[in-house]
Amino acid sequence: MAISDKIKALLKLRGLNNQALAECLGISAQALSNKFYRDSYSGEDLIKIAAFLECELAFISGETKISLMESPKQKRGKK
């Protein structure tokens, strides 16, 4: 399953729509549609999407788990 399909499924499960996600990412609905079509996301996109969907994005290897989360600066909209 493509990343876009997983994101769309999570949006549906959470009762959210594409417009709300686009606003969260600070992009237009068309730009989000392009990301879905191309299945192309930056690491920063994925971290923001996970936070928006109240999910955890992590690298897991055996018992080691490294969680990727928004920094306080990212949450305020700064880089």
pLDDT at 70: 75
Give the pLDDT score at 79: 44
Element (H, E) at 64: strand 64-68
Which of 2-6, 60-64, 65-69, 72-76 shows the lowest per-residue confidence on average (mean pLDDT)? 72-76
CA dist 12 → 15, 17, 37 (Å)? 5, 7, 17
- pTM here is 0.83
11, 17 in Cβ contact below 8 A?
yes
- pLDDT of 67 strictly over 60: yes
CATH of domain 3-75: 1.10.260.40
Q: Please check the confidence at residue 75 and state whether its pLDDT lies above 60.
A: no
pLDDT range class, residue 78, cuts 50, 70, 90 = very low
